[in-house]
Structure 1
């Protein structure tokens, strides 16, 4: 849910290349979550990018009958189920994030680290080999089926820090995500969130709804997700092939966390601490951050980080900032590939 408030949007893919002596900076993938979804997200790459297309088909196949319906709605101009419905947003975000990660790997570029936001962390875990894809797909569908029974809720991006917002929260509304020092996402049941939004607007805060019909990352979904650890306990997990920085622990995943079914099962309830996790990643070295998901919400957040502002690290989106014609997806991916070359990477077969 990288929805932004109160800032100027940067357009285009133009990551500044590293100095010759330092290039190429290793790539770290940023994988977005709820709020980034839109109709036909990344569908312009299908079937023009074979690696991406094969990965999407793998996910849909792994999801069985649900995957057939998901694919039909994904490529449709007018889906039968709205994209913001949890049964569409979550599995399709997972699929697109995962397939874009595979696309980058298909270019011959092995990421040095992965950082996912919300459902993006499951995509990161699948890309890193923590879960086999069929198990990851089953986990996503199980989460979706549970969240369908969550009470009506939503999320609200506010241009303020969590400490500023604390005194104004009421009615089970909580901080659901910390995306940047003055970019906080609140989550809670629909009536209470509307009341808090009205109070914040009256008191001069800049707010923007996050596209979501569920109060992700709040106690409002706790009852619906109860028992999810049983599925996690039944699947095989492995150490990651690539370090996965967790938006829940703000550090690389450790063996004990990977093996803990409760850690994964609690993620829809726990707050996402994206900025502290990003800070930990960028404190470990210089990176070319590549946003592998729809939109450029995480790109806009990362551009605020001092390591990016000073040019030590840079950020590069794979897809356009907003929905557009199918060719825009292909043009954006091609521009990202050119920027990777300018950085000093040598994509395979390109």
Structure 2
């Protein structure tokens, strides 16, 4: 099924999109979503029960921006929303994940079994939790403009749009870089993260992760997965490369170049299946969206709000996708 005649591409957000009780307004009122969340928590065992408790809590025991909460809960919400869209009869032509969203995309496409991916996500976050404190800084600038400010510690962690680049690194050097950028007139803001994702500072924590990926079965995707790391559809070689998957926390995310590759194949209905509308704001800058030949549909509200707001936004998206009453 397509949305209004356009092929559907699911966009699955990553670090920085998380917030307290993200998508919790859909649980348990939207049974397919609730069942998929429960499936993830069950696959994560005892840690899954702690994750469920913090996800539904107004005041989580572990802060939502901590890697042991943000990453597995983003993975769970992205996956569950993807499953919900599939239950409506929508058959995406492509999936594009940002950061941990690529793991959710890989599961939805059948590359990994959920139970295997859940264990790998938990292994990843346990490793990253032991890394030194770090962070991420979004800057309204191109990577070229930021070159004079980069160092061995502070690097480009993500290219999200033509003039939205995210820097990453240890707290001290990142703070210093941020001060210099602001003094020089750049607009900057910290991304909600307590880790320096997509920077070399996480390389020591990722040692040994490839061995965990190497023993997990993988399959060819049922749906094309456009990688924000390679900026192209995943190949058989990518899928079979354990070091590719294990290196995601260190490698830069090149979301915009990956989006350009996706859109070069034609117009799409771009459906953001995750918390917030961060990716929707980015893709609205794409020329195909600006001229109206491609469209953007977020499944959840732009900002945290009451539970009913989650359901209202989802219902509106379902109508646009032609799902109607099957949204529940």
TM over 0.5: yes
1:283 maps to 264
Q: Residue 346 and residue 287 in structure 1: after superposition, are their counterparts in 2 closer, same or farther (change >3 A)?
A: farther
* Alpha-carbon distance in structure 2 between the residues aligned to 1:135 and 1:50: 23
* Alpha-carbon distance in structure 1 between the residues aligned to 2:327 and 2:226: 30
**Does the 8 Å contact 2:318/2:327 carry over to 1?**
no
* Alpha-carbon distance in structure 1 between the residues aligned to 2:30 and 2:265: 33
| Cα deviation, residue 170, structure 1 | 3.1
Of 18, 25, 30, 1:44 maps to: 25
1:302 maps to 283
* Alpha-carbon distance in structure 2 between the residues aligned to 1:39 and 1:87: 14
**Partner SS state of residue 63, structure 2:** coil
Matches within 5 A, 1:88-167: 88-167=69-148
Of 192, 204, 208, 2:189 maps to: 208
**Partner SS state of residue 321, structure 2:** helix
Q: Residue 286 and residue 347 in structure 1: after superposition, are their counterparts in 2 closer, same or farther (change >3 A)?
A: farther
Cα deviation, 1:41-61, whole Å, max 9, x if unaligned, reads 000000011110000000000
| Cα deviation, residue 349, structure 1 | 8.1
Q: TM-score, normalised by structure 2?
A: 0.98
**Does the 8 Å contact 1:229/1:261 carry over to 2?**
yes
* Alpha-carbon distance in structure 1 between the residues aligned to 2:76 and 2:327: 24
Q: Does 1:67 align with 2:48?
A: yes
Cα deviation, 1:81-135, whole Å, max 9, x if unaligned, reads 0000000000000000000000000111111100000000000000000000000
**Does the 8 Å contact 2:153/2:170 carry over to 1?**
yes
Q: Which runs of 4+ in 1 moved over 3 A?
A: 345-350
CA RMSD, Structure 1 to Structure 2 (Å): 1.4
* Alpha-carbon distance in structure 2 between the residues aligned to 1:305 and 1:42: 27
* Alpha-carbon distance in structure 2 between the residues aligned to 1:206 and 1:41: 27
Q: Residue 299 and residue 89 in structure 1: after superposition, are their counterparts in 2 closer, same or farther (change >3 A)?
A: same
**Does the 8 Å contact 1:33/1:118 carry over to 2?**
yes
Q: Residue 108 and residue 346 in structure 1: after superposition, are their counterparts in 2 closer, same or farther (change >3 A)?
A: farther
Matches within 5 A, 1:1-350: 23-170=4-151, 172-341=153-322
**Does the 8 Å contact 1:62/1:133 carry over to 2?**
yes
For structure 1, list consecutive stretches of 5 or more residues without a partner in the other structure: 1-16
**Does the 8 Å contact 2:314/2:327 carry over to 1?**
no
**Does the 8 Å contact 1:244/1:253 carry over to 2?**
yes
